[in-house]
Amino acid sequence: MVRPSRHDLALFGALVLVMLATRTHYVSNLVHLPDTSLASFFVLGFFVRRPWAFAGLFLLAVVIDFIMIGWLGRSSFCVTPAYWMLAPAYGTMWLAGRFGAERLGPVASALPLLLLLLVAAAFLSQLFSSGGFYFLGDRFADPSLAGFLPRLARHFPLTLYSTLLWSAVAAGVYGLLSTARSLFAARASR
């Protein structure tokens, strides 16, 4: 078994902190931070391709939801038999991140294709999560495609916005760290 690298663990830890800050809604309500879940899974797949990382972040998301609902009294409206559709929704993002890393890599010239991949993955993820909730969640009488499409049109823009925002933050942090690493390496070689 290959041990996780320090970089894998550091990134995983950073994503855990961001998920705790945005998914619990305590910090995010104070400063209006959008949820980072989809972007976190994409970034995790891009940089940490090991299944333990996906399983750990998914478990964290589930635990946060159940603590917020069970112990802290948040609404349980979204917890239905379709809740587990979050597994393929988040899995889509993680696999898209893996695909992007393997086929495109972390280079500036790949940004347009990575952006297209991110948007497509976010849309498919939304279909799994929102579609699962609508069609399998037993919250809507007579669910139909005609009833689902307006809901998708209403909810997807905010999901896409938060996914793009947090992915851009991750790309910016990566760019800054790469630049700093290059500067330190150049300075050390003098």
Is residue 188 pLDDT above 70, yes or no? yes
pLDDT for res 76: 58
The token pair at 147 is: 């009833």
The token pair at 158 is: 């905010």
The token pair at 3 is: 């041990």
pLDDT for res 78: 67
pLDDT for res 35: 85
Name the pLDDT band for 113 (thresholds 50, 70, 90). Answer: very high
Is residue 75 pLDDT above 80, yes or no? no
Is residue 32 pLDDT above 80, yes or no? no
Model confidence, pTM: 0.89
Residues 92-99 have a mean pLDDT of: 97
User: Which helix (H) or strand (E) covers residue 9, if one does?
Assistant: helix 6-23
Mean pLDDT of the chain: 88
The token pair at 101 is: 């890393």
pLDDT for res 106: 87
CA separation for the pair 34, 149 (Å, rounded)? 23
pLDDT for res 77: 57
Is residue 143 pLDDT above 70, yes or no? yes
- Domain extents for the chain? 6-188
Name the pLDDT band for 29 (thresholds 50, 70, 90). Answer: low
SS3 category, 189: coil
Assign 3-state DSSP to the chain and report helix, strand, coil percentages, each to 5: 80, 0, 20
CA separation for the pair 92, 41 (Å, rounded)? 9
Is residue 172 pLDDT above 90, yes or no? yes
How long, in residues, is the chain? 190
